[in-house]
Amino acid sequence: MTYQAPVKDMLFNMQHLADLQQVAELPGFHDAGLETAQAVLQECAKFNEDVIAPLNWEGDKYPSSFHDGKVTTTPGFKQAFKQYAAGGWQGLQHPDDFGGQGLPKTIGAACGEILNSANLSFALCPLLTDGAIEALLTAGTDEQQALYLPKMIAGEWTGTMNLTEPQAGSDLSLVRTRAEPLPDGSYKIVGTKIFITYGEHDMADNIVHLVLARVQGAPEGVKGISLFIVPKFMVHADGSLGARNDVHCVSIEHKLGIKASPTAVLQFGDRGGAIGYLVGQENRGLEYMFIMMNAARYAVGVQGISVAERAYQKAVGYARDRVQSRPVDGSMNTAAPIIHHPDVKRMLMTMRAQTEGCRALATVAAAAYDAAHKHPDAEVRKQNQAFYEFMVPLVKGYSTEMSLEVTSLGVQVHGGMGFIEETGAAQYYRDAKILTIYEGTTAIQANDLVGRKTTRDGGQGALALARQIEATEADLQASGSAHAQAMLKRLQAARVAFVDVVAFIAGQAKADPNAVYAGSVNYLMLAGKLMAGWQMARALLVAERELAAGNDAAFMQAKISTARFYADHILTRVPGLRDAIVEGAPGVTEMALESF
């Protein structure tokens, strides 16, 4: 089965949950209403279904290769990337001042999901370029922006993020790459960076590396890190390319998944010194790099949704075709497609409900991002920024962990054939694993949720979200339908569990940090299930109204059924997580280290 973008579900979320009409009233977004969203998504779907998706399996069979310092991407990638750039897709969310289309994140994120569903490995190149563009828009000088951004936004040049070194994984205080000031104001960069996605490839004319390094004499730790532009080819003042810079790929990694995406080891200054240009001020590099990381963390969460959607579609196609055994209810006298069997339906519904819940959550978060950046009222901007910041570790952490469960179920639906590579189900499972690791592991997202998003204000921001959920509970109560009442029961129990956990975390973070952080990932999973379930509750109410009005009955009924499944099978996991967090720390912390 080929991929079909879930455009209808995306538009439903935009219209009814994210209130795209309000987004379209923000300054600069006046042409970005539902009609524009529909036209953009349909065109995006067509391009990705026809051009990018067919290359996904090819990339797994014929990964990027490395020879004599050069990386050759999967056959077809280079031509597809040129089509991607020519279509203006790289510039979708970026300012029209530099050649972009200036569309809101609410629309751009949906296009990102479609691209990543079509081909996760391919999509990583534009994803990292987007992050580099964001960093330069925020911290680059006018000259740097004029020199680099038009080419990057046009898709002629790509961007990378260079943080990790052999001795410095997630602990960036250990970064040792050196930056030596030169008389002309540039810097000589010397060091090694690993795990650099699309650090070398053949799809674009230039690669703009953003590199963390230490200037001589800088303070130790993260306070002494600066950010530099190190282009693969030097760039003249008129934008033309000059000599090759001293940055070279020395190898690429052999990976479990995303095999078509070249993950490079880059050597800077091995032949005399790579030339770099300071971004912003010295010793503020980590601050600027976090701009890239936050953009990438949201985007990686969307990748989780994307691969889950692709696995779900694959599993549904197989379950419709695979004939095995008579239905247990006796409705057929012969063997039937396995989609008739209750447990197969349970697996498919688990895949569908979690994917739709996370998609709704990501869409609402994107709309908050748009309001946080564009709303004329400073207080409204502040509220939306707080909402978005709380949601980013959930979108990243929960959606990617969700994708592992969903892609594993996709293999399970296929049975023994799922274990055979030729069916394609296993690729999604293997590709999904990296999503819980790069751009900050699930534990790092959980630490962020506890430390920066919950304890910093004594849990007040989290409790404000709980009050918003209470308002949705009142709407469910007013509905009176059996599905709404079932959702009310489960949502209310999940919210109460969340409030208990927030109180525990806020109250014990300083007194017993080991107990709090022992439950941090469970807290992230609890909050993710609750916040996605909240959006599914809102979707259920909308679908009931639309169904009553006679609008798109099949879609709305399916949405109600999916929301009901989420309530009964996903939200019911939340109280157990509450118990593990509030009462389960001793089971984690008391084992003596020598007993492991």
Q: Could you give phi then psi for residue 282, rounded to 5 degrees? A: -60, 145
C-alpha atoms less than 13 angstroms from C-alpha of 486 in its C-beta half-sphere: 18
Measured at the alpha carbon of residue 447, what is the angle toward residues 441 and 452, in degrees to the nearest 5? Answer: 130
In whole angstroms, give the CA distance from residue 353 to residue 414.
Answer: 19
Residue bearing tokens 């540039």: 186
Pairing of strands 274-279, 187-197: antiparallel
Query: Which helix (DSSP H) or strand (DSSP E) does residue 209 occupy?
Result: strand 206-215
Residue bearing tokens 């990694």: 253
Q: What is the CA radius of gyration of the chain?
A: 24
Token pair listed for 351:
């895949």
CB 567 within 8 A of CB 536: yes
Indicate the burial class of 117 (C-beta count within 10 angstroms; 0-12, 13-18, 19 or more): buried
Cβ neighbour number for residue 377 with a 10 Å cutoff: 10
CB 128 within 8 A of CB 200: no
Strand partners, 179: 189, 215
CB 192 within 8 A of CB 157: no
Letter string b/e over residues 401-432, b meaning 16 or more CB atoms within 10 A of that residue's CB? bbbbebbbbbbbbbbeebeeeebbbbbbbbbb
Q: Could you give phi then psi for residue 537, rounded to 5 degrees? A: -65, -45
CB 77 within 8 A of CB 51: no
507, 510, 511, 512: CA torsion to nearest 10: 100
The SS3 of residue 422 is helix
Residue type at 557 in one-letter notation: Q
Alpha helix positions (H), 176-243: none
Cβ neighbour number for residue 174 with a 10 Å cutoff: 14
Q: What share of the chain is helix, strand, coil (3-state, %, to 5)?
A: 60, 10, 25
**Dihedral sign computed on CA atoms, order 494, 495, 496, 497:** positive
Cβ neighbour number for residue 223 with a 10 Å cutoff: 12
Pairing of strands 247-252, 274-279: unpaired
C-alpha atoms less than 13 angstroms from C-alpha of 337 in its C-beta half-sphere: 9
**Dihedral sign computed on CA atoms, order 161, 196, 164, 441:** positive
Pairing of strands 187-197, 263-268: antiparallel
Measured at the alpha carbon of residue 590, what is the angle toward residues 586 and 593, in degrees to the nearest 5? Answer: 150
Catalytic positions are 439
CB 530 within 8 A of CB 571: yes
